[in-house]
Amino acid sequence: MIVTTSFQIAKVKGIPIRLHFTLLVTFVLISWTVAVRFTPNIYPGLSSIEYWTVGILGAIVLFLSVTLHELSHSVMAMRYGLHVREIILFIFGEAPNIPFWKLYITNALLFYTESGLRIRHQPILL
């Protein structure tokens, strides 16, 4: 089970954020892909240390943005009265521990709210 193979790294708004060991595999693969396969094609001539720095920073930024995304889902779920037990960061992404049917309803509400705000505050270009 995911919970037994993970450890808590933070707690935000009362929601424990846990790190599963498989995320380390994903972190290494993403860092390697960016450092060895992607960045050298765009910026040739840099040193190995520079490529790996870009790869590691890229993986960190990716995981932070996905974590913030999942945290926003969890905060919205709490706003609508749902109980969020934890967020687990693992190889296939992040998973807030919310009953799925409630998560779908909350995500739909979040989507329509965000869409309404975007339409309201951005001009439509033809």
Higher pLDDT, 72 or 48: 48
Higher-pLDDT residue of 89 and 95 is: 89
What per-residue confidence (pLDDT) applies to 93? 53
Give the pTM: 0.66
In a domain, 115, yes or no: yes
Residue 49 inside a domain? The answer is yes
Flag whether 61 is in a domain.
yes
- The answer to the question of residue 126 being in a domain is no
In which domain, by residue range, is 30 found? 3-121
Cβ distance 79 to 69 under 8 Å?
no
Number of structural domains (the chain) is: 1
Is pLDDT of 10 > 80? yes
Q: Average model confidence (pLDDT) for the chain?
A: 77
- What's the maximum distance between 2 C-alpha atoms anywhere in the chain? 54
Q: Do the beta carbons of residue 94 and residue 70 sit within 8 Å?
A: yes
Residue 20's H or E segment, with its range, is strand 15-20
Taking only the tens place, the pLDDT of each residue in 111-122 is 666 555 444 444
